[in-house]
Structure 1
Amino acid sequence: MYIIAAIIAFGVLIIIHELGHFIMAKVNGVKVEEFSIGMGPKLFGIKGKETEYLIKLLPIGGYVKMLGDEGKSDDPRAFNNKSSLRKLSVVIAGPIMNLVLGVVLFSIIASARGYVAPIVKSTIPDQPAAVAGIKPGDRITRVNNSKISTWEDFITQVYTVGGKPINISYERQGTLRQATVIPMKNKAENRYMVGIEGTQVTSPNLGQSISYGFIETKSLIKQTFSFFKILFSGKASMNDVGGPVTIIKISGAAAKAGILSLLAFSAYISVQLAIFNIIPFPALDGGYIFLFLFEIITGKKVDDNKVGMINYVGFAILMALMVVVTVKDILYPIKF
């Protein structure tokens, strides 16, 4: 039951993403031939006036097939005959929809159960923060050179530096102060801590909830790029990376924990999906975004057949990577 809920939630994220492409294709007068949720063998479909709506077996993706998006067509409604700016608007709409969904979901969650603000509620005696003079009521603004907008930002920064000294900037009664703190490792929880508890905002108003939705989404984007930096620097391993199986498992656990937990994880994955798709790699939205920006800036059009060939290779690499990550998920699952 919970796994079904997780699959449905993951499917909704894909639908929202593809809906962005679909809507902007229609706005720009592009003929859409297929709108598919899922990949692989077709389960069933409905034929509309000009678009076939499909549900496929594997809930690991989806696509919008437009006339002229994989080669040349003489039809004026073909994707390849639209201006680079119009094509860019169609491609970038998918990731934007996922970011918007993230903002909406985080806002709903904040309104329903509140959130933790980066304001010190209490400090643990004799722990690094208390020793450094940080007190309840202090608002944390920066850790080293990184701006702190959410409590998650603060936790991430402490985790990232490990046991190295960090410079915490905070505001007390309108005055900016600084303290140098060396995190201590909590062996029981196997993580570094400075001994600070954040302040729970229990009943935010509508404006605060929406503001939190934007701030949390922005924070998550920053945290994701920080993780990429850690991953490519060798400080994290591919064992920390999960694929579809891991996503469904965690989604199922989130669904079991309650609707708000499922919404929170869905918001997280929605933002991750947006970021992944803007990576400038062939067959991803980011590859097309890079291409169309190049055409807009240089005024030179890249041959459609060459683009199609490169995207086929990129798609094959992505599918191979998907298989590898899925097998890894099954044989060597992430342990929590």
Structure 2
Amino acid sequence: MITFILILSILILVHELGHFIAAKQLKVKVEKFSLGFGPKLFSKKIGDTEYMLCAIPFGGFIKMAGDSSEEFKGRQEEFLSRMPGQRARIIFAGPFFNYVLAFLCLWMVYYLGYPRFSTKIGELVSGLPAETSGMQVGDKVVEVGGRSVQYWEDISKQIHAKRGEIVTVKVLRESQELDFQMSPEVKEVNTVFGKKVEVGLIGIKPSDEIIKVRYGIWDSLLKGTQNLVSMTAMTIVAIFSIITGTMSFKESVTGPLGIFFIASGAAKLGFSAVLHVIGILSMSLAVFNLLPLPILDGGHICLAGLEKIRKRPLAPKIEEVMGNIGMSFLIILAVFIFCNDLIRYGYWDKFLVLFGK
């Protein structure tokens, strides 16, 4: 739980800090800086800004002077007194800071040691080729199809590609090398983008043994950058696939409960794994916030761009309606994701008990 709250707090703090710093650079008065929502646990005013820590950790915000048409009085220090491009810069700074955090985290992950599962077998699936051929828990896989393997993902790649073929798996058992021949079973699975593909499976699962792979400072910078670019592209494609219906929203999106389990698992693997989770979530938060939807940062940037093109802002009533639509959409989305998490992790029935169901 502590790891989960810490990760959420870091993501939110960095995001709001981006908005805060950009606002200060452009001489916009920031009235409030809050980490969390709801009842105040701590509050201190420094200069023009009240800094708050609130009870509900699932969010945060900064309150700028004159950031709505109702409050705008035409003062130089107010948000709406700035040009559309300057307002867009303040809004964009939040996701940008999240992306910078993701970059730094992934760089440090490869420098401190990227955690990977070893090739030691932790579990055999009954009735599948590995078990029927005589392989045992504790065996260490050293070769698959004549190719040496260093990490568990190497085994998976080789086995998946050998569907329907006869493959030799060499293992190390108590200092003795043993060869096992088997034909991986063919199974149809969905890729992360919802595409159905056939892969080979022999029924083995990794042990808890972790190998930390460390890189030099420049190699880790390169690896971290490659990982970040790859994950960003995958996230964008995944969002597009969900919108077009080629990827299941229900199976591919997780919420606070899912993040809690991910954070808990990462904490058991060590600091590098926690950094990796922070990096992935921070990148995802940046991409999500830049979607052109009302109430998200991307939506506000689009409105600023539209104002620059039209040479005048939208009518306050139209902005209010768009904001309400965006808020309603986010609330419905949050409720759906929360309920989906409860079902996915087996807590739905327990949740219904609270309502006497």
TM above 0.5, one fold?
Answer: yes
Distance 1:240 1:159 in 2: 9
Match of 1:70 in 2: 68
Cα drift, residue 34 of structure 1: 0.9
Q: Please, which of 294, 297, 320 is the counterpart of residue 306 of structure 2? A: 294
**Which residue pairs with 1:260 in the alignment?**
272
Superposed CA deviations along residues 233-288 of structure 1, whole A, max 9, x for unmatched, are: 24324133211122122112211221111111111100000011001111110101
- Structure 2 partner of 1:105: 105
Give the superposition deviation at 1:91. 0.3
Q: Pick closer, same or farther for the CA change 1:22–1:236 going to 2, 3 Å.
A: same
Partner of 2:80: 80
Maintained 8 Å contact 2:160/2:200: no
Aligned to 2:259: 247
DSSP-derived class of the 2:99 partner: helix
What one-letter code is carried by the residue in structure 2 that aligns with 1:74? G
* Contact 2:28-2:79 within 8 A present in 1 as well: yes
- Within the candidate set 305, 308, 322, 1:310 is matched to 322
For residues 262 and 97 of structure 2, what CA distance do their matches in structure 1 show?
Answer: 23
- Post-superposition offset of 1:160: 5.9
Gaps of 5+ in 2: 117-141, 147-157, 164-189, 206-210, 348-357
Q: Which residue of 2 aligns with 1:148?
A: none
Q: Which amino acid aligns with 2:329?
A: I
Q: Structure 1 residues 312, 70: CA separation in 2 closer, same or farther (over 3 Å shift)?
A: farther
Q: For 1:219-230, what aligned pairs fall within 5 Å after superposition?
A: 219-230=230-241
CA distance in 2, matches of 1:203, 1:9: 23
* Whole-Å separation in 1 of the counterparts to 2:64 and 2:263: 31
**Alignment check: 8 A CA contact 1:114 1:203 kept:** yes
Asked if the contact 2:159/2:202 (under 8 Å) is kept, the reply is no
TM-aligned CA deviation for residue 208 of structure 1: 1.5
Kindly state the Cα deviation for residue 129 of structure 1 after the two structures are TM-superposed: 5.7
Equivalent position to 1:208, from 201, 207, 219: 219
| Distance of 1:27 and 1:228 partners within structure 2 | 33
Structure whose CA Rg is larger: 2
1:327 positional shift: 3.1
Question: Following TM superposition, by how much is the alpha carbon of 1:73 offset from its aligned partner in structure 2, in angstroms?
Answer: 2.4
**CA distance, structure 2, for counterparts of residue 250 and residue 237 of structure 1:** 19
Q: Which moved more, 1:301-310 or 1:212-221?
A: 301-310
The equivalent of 1:275 in structure 2 is: 287
- Rounded to whole Å, the distance in 1 between the matches of 2:39 and 2:222 is 42
- Identity of matched residues, %: 29
Which deviates more, 315-324 or 281-290? 315-324
Cα 1:215–1:157 change in 2 (3 A) is farther
1:8 is aligned to 2:29: no
Alpha-carbon spacing, 1:248–1:276, altered in 2? closer, same or farther (3 Å): same
Deviations 1:124-183 (A, max 9, x none): 35968689xxxxxxxxxxxxxxxxxxxxxxxx97986543xxxxxxxxxxxxxxxxxxx5
On the 8 A contact 1:278/1:286 being kept in 2, the answer is yes
CA distance in 1, matches of 2:20, 2:12: 12
TM-score, length-scaled by structure 1: 0.73
In the alignment, which residue of structure 1 is the partner of 2:122? none
2:145 maps to a residue whose letter is I
Q: 1:256 to 1:262 in 2, by over 3 A?
A: same
Summarize the Cα distance change of 1:159–1:298 in structure 2 as closer, same or farther, 3 Å threshold: closer
Post-superposition shift, 1:42? 2.6
| Secondary structure of the structure 2 residue equivalent to 1:223 | helix
Task: Tell me which residue corresponds to 1:17.
Answer: 15
| Alignment-mate amino acid for residue 35 of structure 1 | F
Give the CA deviation at 1:43.
2.5
CA deviation profile, 1:41-95 (whole Å, cap 9, x unmatched): 3322212221111112222111111111122222211101100111011000010
Structure 2 CA distance for aligned equivalents of residues 39 and 157 of structure 1:
37
RMSD: 3.1
Residues 95, 285 of structure 2: 8 Å contact kept: yes
2:33 match: 35
Gaps of 5+ in 1: 132-155, 164-182, 191-199
Is the Cα–Cα contact under 8 Å of residues 256 and 338 in structure 2 kept in the other structure? Answer: yes
Give yes or no for the alignment of 1:124 onto 2:166.
no
Partner of 1:194: none
Matched positions, count = 278
Q: Tell me how far 1:115 sits from its aligned partner.
A: 8.1
Q: Secondary structure at the match of 1:46?
A: strand
Q: Which amino acid aligns with 1:42?
A: K
Q: Closer, same or farther in 2 for the Cα pair 1:24/1:237, shift >3 Å?
A: closer
Cα deviation 1:164-206 (Å, max 9, x = unaligned)? xxxxxxxxxxxxxxxxxxx53326379xxxxxxxxx9944221
Secondary structure at the counterpart of residue 94 of structure 2: helix
Is 1:320 aligned with 2:332? Answer: yes
